[in-house]
Structure 1
Amino acid sequence: MSEAKSTVLVVDDTPENIDLLVNILSDDYKVKAAINGHKALEIARKAPPDIILLDVMMPGIDGYEVCEFLKADATTRHIPILFITAKIGLQDELHGFELGAADYITKPISPPVVKARVKTQLALYNQNRELDRKVRERTRELHETRLQIIQRLGRAAEYKDDQTGLHVIRMSHYARVIGLAAGMSEEDAETLFNASPMHDIGKIGVPDEILKKPAKLDEVEFEVMKGHCEIGAAIIGEDSSDLLQMARTIALTHHEKWDGSGYPGGLAGDAIPRVGRIVAIADVFDALTSRRPYKEEWSVDDALDMIEASAGTHFDPHLVGLLRETLPEILEIKRTYAESSPSSS
């Protein structure tokens, strides 16, 4: 199957010049034509060509202005532009390059020069596009790898007292749902979803005899358990990444309480970062409705009653209301990632 021809847009206010360029290029390329700058912009924005041959001196908006408009538009700024002009003073040439032009072709037009320069610029354009594609693909792969590492580290910590590791998956989905309901952008809610699995990474530093104790912890043991927040923040560390910054904030603040009685900082109300407040609710809801070594599974109604009774003391009252509002979506997530579901394998 033959490769699709590249598209060349020819822009000139003189029909004879358009005809000449069409004749030169039509054997090798699909050629479109515009008789003025406004038509050129319309064509380029509707179906961006692979390259544009643009006359400089035109009535209305001239070639420089057309180039400026095209380079200011995200959908067309990548298109290589070759100015065609008899006016080729040094300042004019520099001005065109400053606007983003790739090259100049001087009049009178030489068919071999036109063909050679169009071929060269298209080759560079295609090479750059392929390079951009590879960079995007590699960036995506690195991003996916980082997310997988974060999620698996979160699950590794959770395996110490939850043999399936599904808790971090469920509560991360819950957090995303509540975050969106609270007005977070899709991007921020997605970051919250990907950062939440690290909330209890500090459990790695808590002795198993405390973490797996099938009874209430005594005062000394509870003090050791409380240390997992700061251990988690230390493990994640300081990083410029938005994702890791949020993960650290969550690890450090998801046990703070609305009335200031939580730990480790004794923060209260809005002083507790919103992501910490969201994860606190998502974490407790899933912990209550899941079986643990020290407790049986609670019903959804009992868990909701407990959380709503703690609104204004343990939890942000507004976010507690959003948990109730989003309950159908929350329960669908709970069913999807139930301990006995295929997802746990």
Structure 2
Amino acid sequence: MATATTQAGMRLTQYAHGGGCACKIPPGELEEVVAGLTGRGPAGGGAADLLVGLDSGDDAAVVRLPGGPGALAVVATADFFTPVVDDPYDWGRIAAANALSDVYAMGGTPLVAVNLLAWPREVLPFELAREVLRGGLDIAAEAGCHVGGGHSVDDPEPKYGMAVTGVADPERLLRNDTGRPGVPLSLTKPLGLGVLNNRHKATGEVFPEAVAAMVGLNRDAAAAALAAGAVCATDVTGFGLLGHVFKMARASGVTAVIDVSAVPFLDGAAAAAREGFVSGGTRRNLAWVAPHTDFGSADELTRLLLADAQTSGGLLVAGEVPGAPVVGELVARREHPLVLR
């Protein structure tokens, strides 16, 4: 197994307490912080309508532009995190793909992004920061999204991401609160990114399949979901599959039934989990959903893998997506909003 190296012989993951989306504030704590802080229009009214705000904890904010029928909506998001891999170029690509994913998860098209960079300027050489930014620029170019500068700060820990603005058809959004009973659930990327990234941080082992998954854009999956008539989706990132499907089921007033045997995993993910490479974020995800979940016969290892904190994961779509496995279905609300079978 290859190990990580950089031009300067430094392992970026060793300069951060967490890694990737696993360093998010735990979902339960975050919900307490933002409780009651729902989206508000400008004082005295405004020319644009907020279609998606904080209410359902969706992936991005969406504002309808004025102009009557045919007017577009603006999709806005921001996402950044500490190094998830040691290679700076790959970290930049992963962080950019992850930020762009929020726009795709709403059914939108990204137009312009600005960089968000925090850098320990007296500890890590700027040549590494340049590689991070180059990686982000290359992924944005692949997405057809302009990068128009950004903002940087001197920080004890390196962090990178993007604020992204896109557009969408306000009548054809993908939201997390529009799920309906009788609809299948499709997952467009395999799980296991969290445990493999944690193993990478601990050992230096490189997992090319995981990197390839994380740098992959969710553009085509979103387009396929829209073409199939889907109206409900979310991306699977730091709260794990269980956390994100729970948010979807709760917001939609339904129960999500997950077929555990149908969920795809990256090679080596189960072994990494068995060997203890499970992040604190993953364990917090599981603790958050546990009171709302009927776990059936799923053992602890399976539960942790399903709650694994993903970085730049795939889309969870309420509907069938060509080429993506169906991992469950939405049904009428039961005692628990989340059921494993």
TM superposition score category, shorter chain reference? under 0.3
More helix by share: 1
RCO greater where, 1 or 2, for CA within 8 Å and sep 6 or more?
2
